[in-house]
A and B are shown apart, each in its own frame.
Chain A
Amino acid sequence: MNFRHAKTILLAAWGVSLLASLAASRINPYWLYVFYDIGIGIVMAVSLNLINGYTGQFSLGHAGFMAVGAYVSAVITNQCGDLSMFAANGIFALALLAGGLSAALAGLLVGIPTLRLRGDYLAIVTLGFGEIIRVLLQNMDKVGAARGLSVMHGWTNLFWTFGLAAVTVYVVAALVNSTYGRGFMAVHDDEVAAEAMGLNTTKYKVTAFVVGAFFAGIAGGLYAHSKQFITPGGFGFMQSITFVVMVILGGMGNTIGVILAAILLTLLPEGLRMLAGIEHLAGFSANRPLSWLGETRMIIYSLLLIVLMLARPQGLFSRKRNAPVK
């Protein structure tokens, strides 16, 4: 694969997101925040793709790492009063980094003992981990317990969201396109063969897990500072499933597919919501002729998922490599 222009593209993505964030005041706030959701979805799905797609492990606890990042960064920024734009962005960057590092540490703690497991067993362990995080947060009075935590500053903007989404994509792509990264795919394709070739498979799995967790923590920080209110319930099992769906729908181990799936799955419910709200439609006499879409929105969403998976079981894009598939 050709990876030469990646750095240029990364810089271009930063430039575009910086320009976009300067024009943010002209964007309808509702759509602006939907874009934030898209950016956060991309970071989550692409980082999960490193674990579930490229390395072939099955993690169901990604929202747990997101929770760690969200709470850590929110606790840090909540210590600050009103700051100038420069200071605010500086503190925000540090808070995001702290959130990411805490999540990575959590990933390491879970990863080392559990990543000797495979397949279904690993899925169950990560699922359990996600729930532990949620229950711990629910019982920590300092961060509001089950009530939730108000985040004072809405510092998330287009630059941070899409800038960091670009970084995530770059890091994951750079990693899997490196010599070292071939190890992830080796683990994915045949763990026994990889081990026989002298690869330390556990080390590869832990690396994928820690890097994935780091970006999930960053996404959590972005989430906390865009919603400005976080509850432990928002990082439950179902949230993890949403990101797993993005990875599977996009095509396991295909970054572009996963990005598109993250965009599609975030926009779809909002698009249906918008259709339901149309006041008049040519050919219909009733007021709000598509309002039934509102009530059946989630059913349509689920049906589309089923249809998409039936039509393209390998995902929107499938991973094609020169190496023969097992």
Chain B
Amino acid sequence: MKTWPEQFLAAAAAMLVLTGCNKPAAGPDASADIIKVGEFASLTGSEATFGQSSHHGTQLAVDQLNAAGGVLGKKIQLLTEDNQSQAGQSATVVRKLISSDGVVAILGEVASSRSLEAAPICQQNKVPMISPSSTNPKVTETGDYIFRVCFIDPFQGTVMANFAGKRLQLKNVAILTDVKSDYSVGLTKFFKEGFLAAGGKIAVEQNYSGGDKDFNAQLTAIKAANPDGLFVPGYYTEVGLIALQAKQLNLAFPMFGGDGWESSSLVPIGGAALEGDYFSTHFSPQDTTPAVQAFAKDFLAKFHEPSDAMAALGYDSLMLLADAIKRAGTTEGTKVREALAATKDFHGATGNITIDPARNASKPAVILTITNGGFQYIETVAP
């Protein structure tokens, strides 16, 4: 057995050897015929389904662009790193993509918290970053190199207010908000503003906390106020339970909400009680627009599974980047950033995208309804 200081010295020596192994980066790839694009995604871990979908969409875009001759005559190489859906990993992999691989831009992520981890690094290194589906407004507020191709939370509130007032002809709506979630509170705020401005009335506002199982108290109060519709901007688990309990209380009016509803688990939870309810989201493969149909068909052919919103947004994030690189005529970070900021009326799989001054996408939302246990496309609402 060695003595303690000797052991310490050995460890220190090991550390020095490790540090010595570390060479400075070779810098961006000198070979001129490829454009390296970095992507960080939750390919494994708790949100793997989102990450995989998004990654498949991005991969499809790369394949299509390369088959068509690439961008600026160069092939696109997509370097994907997995962050295991874990906090702390995104910062590491994005640093690797930027400093070791020398990528020209970063794509990612679905979860806003992981995009927020990567955004300051991209901003510091002046590497443009496009988030496919982080809807939290804070993400793009990090700096002028951070963009997104999805709409932000407030927009859905406004969309549903218009939909409720114009299409459903509702006058007197009740609201049931998840006060624990930022997302839900934001949607409620903008729904209320939009709906009141259009001449509607809010019958009653009730709250719950994500994770609740019993909503009878709130629903009874809502029933007493006798509204003609119920806005529930929550997540699918609670929404399903709320629909079930509303049906038991014989509430006959329709329910509607935002993209937190979109999950394959919604209908198994809520069942027939959800029939005829509505929600807004980013994308529907049933949309008849040619761009959407082409994407849905290609995606099905390549991955043998139906496309979803995450895949379409992943696809659009790369297509938008490629478009900006083409317009910039270079892969230089500052020029690409300017081109991205100037994006106007880009035809993507999730609708026509214009980047607004806050670097968020101004684009249409789609509204779906639930019929026969499936999601049915109703209409596309322009911003």
Binding site for B on A (CB under 8 A): 1-6, 9, 12-13, 16, 20, 26-31, 33-35, 37, 139, 145-148, 150, 162, 169, 173, 177, 223, 226-231, 233-235, 238, 255-256, 259-260, 263, 267, 270, 273, 277, 294-295, 297-298, 320
Write the B1-13 contact mask toward A (1 if CB under 8 angstroms, else 0).
1011101111110
Cβ contact of A9, chosen from B9, B22, B81, B112, cutoff 8 A: B9
Please tell me if the beta carbons of A234 and B87 are within 8 angstroms of each other in the complex.
yes
**B112: nearest chain-A partner, CB-CB:** A147
A177 to B8, CA, bound (A): 14
Cβ contact of A16, chosen from B12, B100, B101, cutoff 8 A: B12
B182 at the A/B interface (Cβ < 8 Å)? yes
Say how far A131's CB is from chain B's closest CB, in angstroms: 14
Say how far A247's CB is from chain B's closest CB, in angstroms: 16
Please tell me if the beta carbons of A139 and B113 are within 8 angstroms of each other in the complex.
no
**A31: nearest chain-B partner, CB-CB:** B22
A9 to B112, CA, bound (A): 44
Q: How many residues of B contact A (CB 8 A)?
A: 49
Cβ contact of A148, chosen from B11, B100, B113, cutoff 8 A: B113
Please tell me if the beta carbons of B15 and A263 are within 8 angstroms of each other in the complex.
yes
Please tell me if the beta carbons of A260 and B14 are within 8 angstroms of each other in the complex.
yes
Q: Provided the pairs A229-B120, A256-B10 are in contact, do residues A320 and B16 lie with their beta carbons within 8 angstroms?
A: no
Please tell me if the beta carbons of B92 and A35 are within 8 angstroms of each other in the complex.
no
Write the B181-192 contact mask toward A (1 if CB under 8 angstroms, else 0).
110000000000
Please tell me if the beta carbons of B23 and A28 are within 8 angstroms of each other in the complex.
yes
- Chain A residues within an 8 Å CB radius of B99: 28-30
Cβ contact of A263, chosen from B1, B18, B25, cutoff 8 A: B18
Please tell me if the beta carbons of A150 and B95 are within 8 angstroms of each other in the complex.
no
- Chain A residues within an 8 Å CB radius of B19: 20, 35
Binding site for A on B (CB under 8 A): 1, 3-5, 7-12, 14-16, 18-19, 22-25, 43-44, 79-82, 84, 86-88, 91-93, 95-96, 98-101, 112-113, 116-117, 120, 136, 138, 142, 180-182
Supplied contacts A231-B87, A235-B87, A270-B92, 18 more A-B pairs, CB within 8 Å: A3-B5, A6-B8, A9-B9, A26-B24, A27-B22, A30-B95, A30-B96, A30-B100, A35-B22, A145-B182, A147-B138, A177-B4, A229-B91, A229-B113, A234-B87, A273-B81, A273-B93, A294-B80
Say how far A62's CB is from chain B's closest CB, in angstroms: 15
- Chain B residues within an 8 Å CB radius of A148: 87, 113, 116-117
Cβ contact of A30, chosen from B3, B92, B113, B142, cutoff 8 A: B92
Please tell me if the beta carbons of B91 and A28 are within 8 angstroms of each other in the complex.
no
A126 to B181, CA, bound (A): 28
Please tell me if the beta carbons of B11 and A256 are within 8 angstroms of each other in the complex.
yes
Query: Can you give 5 contacting A-B residue pairs, CB < 8 Å?
Result: A6-B8, A150-B138, A229-B117, A256-B11, A263-B15
A229 to B96, CA, bound (A): 17
A273 to B81, CA, bound (A): 8
A27 to B25, CA, bound (A): 8
- Chain B residues within an 8 Å CB radius of A162: 15
A273 to B9, CA, bound (A): 29
Say how far A32's CB is from chain B's closest CB, in angstroms: 8
Please tell me if the beta carbons of B8 and A169 are within 8 angstroms of each other in the complex.
yes
A223 to B96, CA, bound (A): 18
- Chain B residues within an 8 Å CB radius of A4: 5
Say how far A287's CB is from chain B's closest CB, in angstroms: 9
Please tell me if the beta carbons of A9 and B5 are within 8 angstroms of each other in the complex.
yes
Cβ contact of A228, chosen from B8, B23, B81, B120, cutoff 8 A: B120
- Chain A residues within an 8 Å CB radius of B18: 263, 267
**A238: nearest chain-B partner, CB-CB:** B86
Please tell me if the beta carbons of A29 and B95 are within 8 angstroms of each other in the complex.
yes
Please tell me if the beta carbons of B113 and A6 are within 8 angstroms of each other in the complex.
no
A230 to B88, CA, bound (A): 8
Please tell me if the beta carbons of B88 and A1 are within 8 angstroms of each other in the complex.
no
Please tell me if the beta carbons of A34 and B16 are within 8 angstroms of each other in the complex.
no
- Chain B residues within an 8 Å CB radius of A233: 87, 113
- Chain B residues within an 8 Å CB radius of A5: 5
Cβ contact of A28, chosen from B22, B82, B88, cutoff 8 A: B22
- Chain B residues within an 8 Å CB radius of A298: 44, 84
A259 to B86, CA, bound (A): 23
Say how far B64's CB is from chain A's closest CB, in angstroms: 19
Please tell me if the beta carbons of A3 and B91 are within 8 angstroms of each other in the complex.
no
